[in-house]
Amino acid sequence: MLAYHFNRLRGALRSMHPAAYLGVGIKAAAPFTRLIDHAVYKIKISKNVSKIDLSKIHSIFIVCAPRSGGTLVYQALSRTLPGIYISNFHALFPRLGSRILRKAKWQSKQTEFNNYYGYTSSLRDVYEGNEFYKWAHRKYADGAKGQPNSYYRDQFQNMINDLEPRPNECVIFKNARSYFMIKYLHAAIPELKFIRVKRSRDQVIESVLRAYHDLGSFHPIPYNLKTRKIVDPLEFAVAQIEEIESTIDRHLEGLPASAQFVVEYEKFCENAQYHIDTIAYDFIKLPAGSVSECSALSQLKSSSREKVTAAERRKIDNLINESRKL
């Protein structure tokens, strides 16, 4: 685990990307800022906080395999849908973040789309932060290890209370590590709606392989691959993505259509406004006129950067075809 964190830190520092530097800065500062956050919240705010009615808000969870374009979709929705999202500022001040963002009116000022392997370059931009979802990574269903579904609901309720959304607002999340918890989260929190982001499988694997070379690690690693040695990174990348995608498919199969919506990354980039309007008005059922304008949407385009060699691309295609025959 220490080697994993060291490799990612080294890769981030060598990238020269502002989003990577901000991510490192947040990791370094958060232990101190969260002490301040906890103290101020406990002394001045906690007694006046009321429980949020989950049926009065729109909870949206973005799920996808890594390198599928989920962060871009997360950014687009956070800039256009009314409500709150977990930002880099929340990483520093989990309970005070929403209040400060609203007072500063930072949310309405977001325009450009820029991220580095899921990290964004502005304090007011989106943050995935696994620490917000540790409870969602514990694989317990009713009757399993004595943990009922109420555990998930209570933890989710606490997170919502901290974020303080207003009635009829959206609360938008994204977490790639929770992909194997979708059906359990739905069972415990039926109000939760899932947006599944899909991207061309070969492009995802190529991007994952590029990330491995840049950061020195794979993330997340499915349970059945944790003990597998990485002899050939390309083969491991294919196995990782095939397992994650098939797990998401299995979990979503059991959910009602009203609880899930599929976004194809390439088509989203071609016409983001259309997809956002469809999500807002057809899927979430927001009132007419709820979507805010974002001029930067017209600048979106799917990545076409060369990530692997021609030989590697052929091998990826062959391995994908072989896995589909099994």
**Domain CATH number, residue 221:** 3.40.50
Closest CA to 186 of 252, 279, 108: 252
Q: C-alpha distances in angstroms, 87 versus 3, 249, 304? A: 27, 28, 28
Compute the average pLDDT of residues 90-96. 94
Output the pLDDT for position 142.
Answer: 45
Q: Which of the four pLDDT bands, split at 50, 70 and 90, describes residue 109?
A: low
Q: Which of the four pLDDT bands, split at 50, 70 and 90, describes residue 300?
A: confident
Q: Would you say residue 185 has pLDDT above 80?
A: yes
What are the two backbone dihedrals, phi and then psi, of residue 107, each rounded to the nearest 5 degrees? Answer: -60, -40
102-106, 145-149, 290-294: the lowest-pLDDT one: 145-149
Kindly state the percentage of the chain with pLDDT values over 90.
Answer: 59
Type of residue numbered 132: F
- Residue 142 CB neighbours (<10 A): 12
CB 58 within 8 A of CB 160: no
- The string of pLDDT tens digits covering residues 232-277 is 999 999 999 999 999 999 999 989 999 999 999 999 999 999 999 9
Number of domains within the chain: 1
Strand residue runs (E) in the chain: 58-63, 83-85, 115-116, 119-120, 170-174, 193-198, 260-264
What is the CA 63 to chain-centroid distance, rounded? 6
Establish whether the linkage from the previous residue to 220 is cis, with ω within 30° of 0.
yes
Question: Could you tell me the residue range of the domain that residue 150 belongs to?
Answer: 2-325
Q: Would you say residue 108 has pLDDT above 60?
A: no
Q: H or E segment at 276?
A: helix 272-277
8-17, 188-197, 212-221, 262-271: the lowest-pLDDT one: 8-17
Q: Would you say residue 10 has pLDDT above 70?
A: no
CB 78 within 8 A of CB 292: no
Q: Would you say residue 38 has pLDDT above 90?
A: yes
How far apart are the C-alpha atoms of 175 and 154, rounded to whole Å? 19
- The string of pLDDT tens digits covering residues 272-281 is 999 999 999 9
How far apart are the C-alpha atoms of 29 and 157, rounded to whole Å? 27
CB 192 within 8 A of CB 260: no
Geometric angle at alpha carbon 184, from 178 and 188, rounded to 5°: 115
Instruction: State whether residue 87 is helix, strand or coil.
Output: strand
Q: What is the mean pLDDT of the chain?
A: 87
- Hey, what are 38's tokens? 């906890």
Place of tokens 């691959």: 225
In the sheet that holds 193-198, the strands lie side by side as 83-85, 170-174, 58-63, 193-198, 260-264
Q: Would you say residue 146 has pLDDT above 50?
A: no
Output the pLDDT for position 143.
Answer: 43
Question: Which is more confidently placed, 280 or 51?
Answer: 280
What are the two backbone dihedrals, phi and then psi, of residue 212, each rounded to the nearest 5 degrees? Answer: -60, -45
Closest CA to 173 of 73, 257, 254: 73
How far apart are the C-alpha atoms of 133 and 198, rounded to whole Å? 22
Geometric angle at alpha carbon 299, from 212 and 213, rounded to 5°: 10
